[in-house]
Structure 1
Amino acid sequence: MTRRRWIYLTLVAVPLLFAVAGPFVAGSAPAQRQAPFESSQWSPFGTDRLGRDVLAAALTGGRTFLLVAALTVLGAYVVGFLIGVAAAAAPRAWLDELLMRPIDVLLCLPSLLIIMVAALRTRGSAVAIACAVGIALVAPIARFVRMAARSVVHGPVMDALRMQGESRAYRYGNYAAREMIRPIAADLGVRFTTAVYFLASANFLGLGFDTTSTDWAVSVAANKDALTIAPWSVALPAGLIVLLVVGINLLCDDLLADPRTIATRTARASESP
């Protein structure tokens, strides 16, 4: 494994460790509140506006945030994938139009507007906001999958398989999966980043979790006014979000890079003094 990949894995591993193991570690933090925006008895990061230890809050604020983001992306991708593949494989042009024109209308709607309407209608329900984020993601996912699938379904290899009398399951299950796995896996990383952005924006605007929650985005919004006197109350949760987003995209780019590109990069590195 290259040094570059180790760096990318580290970027992703730090926030994931906070989210997975954080609540167990935070259990040893003192339960009583301390003075707001002062030094803490438990960690060097100080306290937040509610007198909670900043490190303890960061350790407990990532699990729900990341779980909601992951489930939202998976749900949106299942729906968008089915629509995109069905449109790409449609035997008639009118069926493709029937599937994709509502998607085009959905693309015209501002994503944050959809989220804000869902939040206001449901009084900030986290489930409703997650569903709104999923709806906002379905349209671009369906368009991307349709584009990726059309060149596979209507390509020369698929035509050759049809002429050879191969079964439908083989055509669409084996060959199509091999051809589409790389772009779709890369797109999953982008959509996860988008979901994190939308959820963080909603929480930052006070539309998601309760304002006293230790959620990373809520912590950034709640403590932003004290950035100059208690910088870690903002920098730590914000840094974890940035590490996760940047790390996932860099890791996806590295893992899913074209083998020819990797070979060229390796050859150049070996030739350099």
Structure 2
Amino acid sequence: MGWRVVYVVLVAVPLLCALVGPVVATYAPEGTQAPFGPSAWSPFGTDRLGRDVLAAALTGGHTLVLTTAVTVLCSYALGFTIGMAAASTRWSWLEDLIMRPIDVLLCLPSLLIIMVAALRSQGSAVAIAVAVGFALLAPITRFVRMAARDVVSGPVMDALRMQGASRWYRYGRYAAREIARPVAADLGVRIAAAIYFLTSANFLGIGFDTTSPDWAVSVAANKDGLAAVPWSVFLPGGLIVMLVVGINLLWDDLLADPRRLAVRDAIRHG
């Protein structure tokens, strides 16, 4: 439980900065100050545009968090539906018809998909989010198909099917219970992957413009002032790292096997 508190803090700090930060940032003084110099509002200094580093960090994560959430949920909803359809069908030709386009999509480099979408749309945030969703779709679909295939084709399912149509609710309930843990674990992986793709696009300059306070953009744009005002890079970069590491650690702790946790606690207190 002690470590879980640490994991929650790691996730909560960047989330609070992203969701509540824009409100707090309104108290920062308007206008700009000397670039890469001291700030009158916080001890973190100013960035290359003369904005307060803390104020920029408080406003720079909102779009990243919301875009990640919407993109992952939409991708997982579609990928889960396609994967379950492929796993449930008894016709091999239909499964091939469903999965072969997914296999082709899986062969395409994810960053290439995002770069093409960004260049064709002149850096549209919506187009980049859609491209990230497509990059996540193929691995999600294949994972769900793999996780559900043994469940829907197992002896328990065969027994439930033979009980008739009135028992289909039991069929769905059993399938959901069996695949809930692996799907939940994979969801955490996809959240981290979406953050990686979105921040990579912004860091490479194919997402938001260089004046955006976005965390990844700030890291890329302020690197020339790292020696003068290191917080201009460390603060937004640290928030990204905290979010990704915290999600992975917290997700792993929440979904850990209770028996493994019991053994770990026994060793720790023994």
TM-score (norm 1): 0.96
1:39 aligns with 2:38: yes
2-structure distance, mates of 1:69, 1:22: 17
Return the offset for 1:169.
Answer: 3.1
2-structure distance, mates of 1:123, 1:60: 23
Partner of 1:170: 170
Partner of 1:205: 204
Calculate the aligned-residue CA RMSD, in Å. 1.0
Q: Is the 8 A contact 2:160 2:170 kept in 1?
A: no
* Structure 1 stretches lacking a partner, 5+ long: none
Partner of 1:154: 153
2-structure distance, mates of 1:220, 1:236: 9
Partner SS for 2:151:
helix
Question: Which residue type is aligned with residue 139 of structure 2?
Answer: P
* Structure 2 stretches lacking a partner, 5+ long: none
Return the offset for 1:185.
Answer: 1.0
Q: Is the 8 A contact 2:160 2:168 kept in 1?
A: no
Question: Which residue type is aligned with residue 188 of structure 1?
Answer: L
Partner SS for 1:178:
helix
Question: Which residue type is aligned with residue 98 of structure 1?
Answer: L
1-structure distance, mates of 2:64, 2:96: 36
Partner of 2:87: 88
2-structure distance, mates of 1:101, 1:113: 20
Return the offset for 1:270.
Answer: 2.4
Q: Is the 8 A contact 2:44 2:54 kept in 1?
A: yes
Return the offset for 1:130.
Answer: 0.3
Partner of 1:67: 66
1-structure distance, mates of 2:174, 2:32: 59
Partner of 2:245: 246
Distance 1:168 1:7, change over 3 A: same
Deviations 1:168-208 (A, max 9, x none): 23302x11111111111111111010000000010011111
Partner of 1:224: 223
Question: Which residue type is aligned with residue 154 of structure 1?
Answer: S
Q: How does 1:1-273 map to 2 (within 5 A)?
A: 2-165=1-164, 167-172=167-172, 174-271=173-270
Question: Which residue type is aligned with residue 168 of structure 1?
Answer: W
Partner SS for 2:35:
coil
Return the offset for 1:52.
Answer: 0.1
Question: Which residue type is aligned with residue 106 of structure 1?
Answer: L
Question: Which residue type is aligned with residue 143 of structure 1?
Answer: R
Return the offset for 1:261.
Answer: 1.1
1-structure distance, mates of 2:183, 2:36: 44
1-structure distance, mates of 2:163, 2:78: 32
2-structure distance, mates of 1:268, 1:175: 34
Partner SS for 1:167:
helix
Question: Which residue type is aligned with residue 142 of structure 1?
Answer: T
2-structure distance, mates of 1:18, 1:130: 21
1-structure distance, mates of 2:187, 2:193: 10
Question: Which residue type is aligned with residue 238 of structure 1?
Answer: G
Deviations 1:124-161 (A, max 9, x none): 00000000000000000000000110121012221222
1-structure distance, mates of 2:183, 2:30: 45
1-structure distance, mates of 2:67, 2:89: 33
Partner SS for 1:263:
helix
Partner SS for 1:33:
coil
Deviates more, 1:224-233 or 1:136-145: 224-233
